[in-house]
Amino acid sequence: MPLDHYETLGRSGLRVSPFALGAMTFGEDPGAAGCSVEESEKILRTYLDRGGNFIDTANFYTNGHSERILGDFFATHGNRDRVVLASKFFGNMHPGDPNGGGAGRKAIRDQLHETLRRMRTDYLDLYWMHNWDRNTPIEETLKTLDELVGSGKVRYIGFSNTPAWVTAQAQTMALLNRWTPLIALQVEYSLLARTVEGEIAPMATDMGMALVPWSPLKNGFLSGKYRRNVQVSDSERAKFVGGPTEDEFKVIDVVNEIAANLNTTAAAVSLAWLKAKKTVPIIGARRLEHLESNLEEVTLTSEQVQALNDISVPDLNYPAPLHGATRAMLQFAGTTVDGEASTVYPSLLQSSVRY
């Protein structure tokens, strides 16, 4: 996949590569499963050499080592202004300090100060709220982020892992107050995790926010190494979450079949499906060959996309099940509107009486 075919991120002028490079695995600090500084820099250099410009991390990834690796790399090699550096606040790195994490004004400002220090830069291109802080008013978070944008320390903002209703409230509040709006949402999204399609994805489209999927290969289940009746040497993360379920294997089977037909990898097929959904996936790697495998250029046919859609249909929460065929039947009465066909409500067919 060409990384220098850039696209704007949400309703903004920020141009990013079609895949972001996730740096969660950069660093080998105790208790954090990552890769060495040398391997991290190989991965980073390869991504940049291929035209990539969007790099994502968080304050507590490998206990802060991920941010330090990125900071040291760009301080040594330059070109910091040519990349879009993103990090996240929320994670508390100070045991015993209730204000060490979260999304309050003090917490955000202190976390940003430490992140900029580790990354050896005076600004972030994109700053994410890593999770929803139930203990802080959303207006406090938004106003603080707007102040940071005004100061030049942050250029754009986004949310991650936040309910749709909270995000919609925040975006509306930002627009009404003329504060800095959200341009992107970082969400779990893959062929094996599609519940984002219930409320968050349509909200993001309507409100001008790009979707940036994390775990696009679902703990490696879509990498190609998981097959029926094949013993897999799992990573620490995969051991923690367990292996694929029978329903997940049904999806994996189709992914592997399409990959074989296209002479490519299951990972590349899974990522191509996400690109067809108009997202900007985050790809992570512990080894250089993983990155190169993920970046294989793949174009899926409409039939292949539909096959993947059909086998991975998500079970969405109420009221989503009422928004498909049932809605069309009640609303369109057998007509076709905007290309969507409908049937007639059964009782109307059985009676000629209209009250």
| One pLDDT digit (tens) per residue for the chain, 355 residues | 689 999 999 999 999 999 999 999 999 876 667 899 999 999 999 999 999 999 999 999 999 999 999 999 999 999 999 999 999 999 999 999 999 999 999 999 999 999 999 999 999 999 999 999 999 999 999 999 999 999 999 999 999 999 999 999 999 999 999 999 999 999 999 999 999 999 999 999 999 999 999 999 999 999 999 988 777 765 555 555 678 999 999 999 999 999 999 999 999 999 999 999 999 999 998 899 989 988 989 999 999 999 999 999 999 999 888 887 788 888 888 899 999 898 888 877 777 676 7
58, 130 in Cβ contact below 8 A? Answer: yes
Catalytic residue among 6, 47, 61, 189: 61
- Phi and psi angles of residue 2, each rounded to the nearest 5 degrees, phi first: -65, 125
| 14 SS3 class | coil
Q: List beta partners, residue 24.
A: none
Helical ranges in the chain per DSSP H: 37-49, 65-77, 105-119, 138-151, 164-177, 200-207, 236-241, 246-262, 266-276, 288-294, 302-311, 325-332, 346-349
Domains (ranges, CATH) in the chain?
A: 7-315 (3.20.20.100), 324-355 (no CATH)
Sort 22 into a burial class: Cβ within 10 Å, 0-12 / 13-18 / 19+: buried
Residue 226 annotated to the active site = no
